Amino acid sequence: MSKLRCHISILLDGFVAGPNQSKENPLGEGGEQLHEWALELEAWRRPHGLDGGEINASTEVMEWSLENLGAIVMGRNMFGGEGPWGDEPWDGWWGDNPPFHMPVFIVTHHAREPVTKEGGTTFTFVTDGIEAALEQARDAAGGKDIGLSGGANVAQQYLKAGLLDEMQLHVVPVLLGAGARLFDNLEDAKIGLDCTRVLEAPGVTHLRYRITRLP
């Protein structure tokens, strides 16, 4: 069966976003440090429609994160905005041609018609929970894997429910001291982890884990 895989940048003190996230500051204060390692990579720039860029040890991980991926699930907080959509609904951070180029399913409390963007990206809004979103993503992925994009809250929900199969952490050597932690609210989770890949790269350490459900 297709796997649910999470690829997420995380600061050494566990934060995956800084404090005070907003439309102006989607990753929160200091959160831009999460992705500095990626922004200069050719493997990041190409799907974002940009030329040039570096090739280094992170390239392999970045390419692997897109390999065999057929759909994406993300939380409403990562898609952006809050509350009901309103008359001029927020359309994501990514402009007319988002970098996903595949179906994206957004877990939200607020119903909304699907949105079709350029380049193969569709946004579908799922209001009946994380399992329903995963099921729809799995149908859309046609046997390929599903990428879980965050944010912290929805990643915690999938992890805690035992639905996540693999986790690729990009560990950034920064102590931010505040924000949203990936590994919070997991008190009763029965999660087994095996580290399957360790890779050192400029400004980041990539750790991959296979996830099992403990008895």
Nearer to a second copy, 12 or 111 (CB): 12
Nearer to a second copy by C-beta: 115 or 189? 189
In the complex, least distance from residue 79 CB atom to a second copy, rounded to whole angstroms? 26
Per-residue CA distances from 140 to 109, 167, 171 (Å): 21, 21, 30
> ∠20-21-27 over CA atoms, to 5°?
125
Sequence-distant (≥ 6) Cβ neighbours of residue 109 within 8 angstroms: 76, 127
Rounded to a whole number of angstroms, the minimum distance from the CB of residue 61 to a second copy is: 13
130-141 vs 152-160: helix axis angle to the nearest 10? 90
Q: Are the CB atoms for 28 and 19 separated by under 8 Å?
A: yes
* Residues 39, 42: Cα–Cα separation, whole Å: 8
The DSSP 8-state label assigned to residue 21 in this structure reads -
Nearer to a second copy by Cβ, of 87 and 187: the residue is: 187
Q: Is 88 or 188 the residue whose CB approaches a second copy more closely?
A: 188
Closest to a second copy by CB, 1 vs 175, is 175
Q: Which two tokens stand for residue 81?
A: 């905005």
* Binding interface with a second copy (CB under 8 A): 12-14, 159, 171, 173-175, 177-178, 181, 183, 186-189, 191, 193-195, 198-200, 205, 207, 209
Answer whether 33's CB lies under 8 Å from 41's CB.
Answer: no
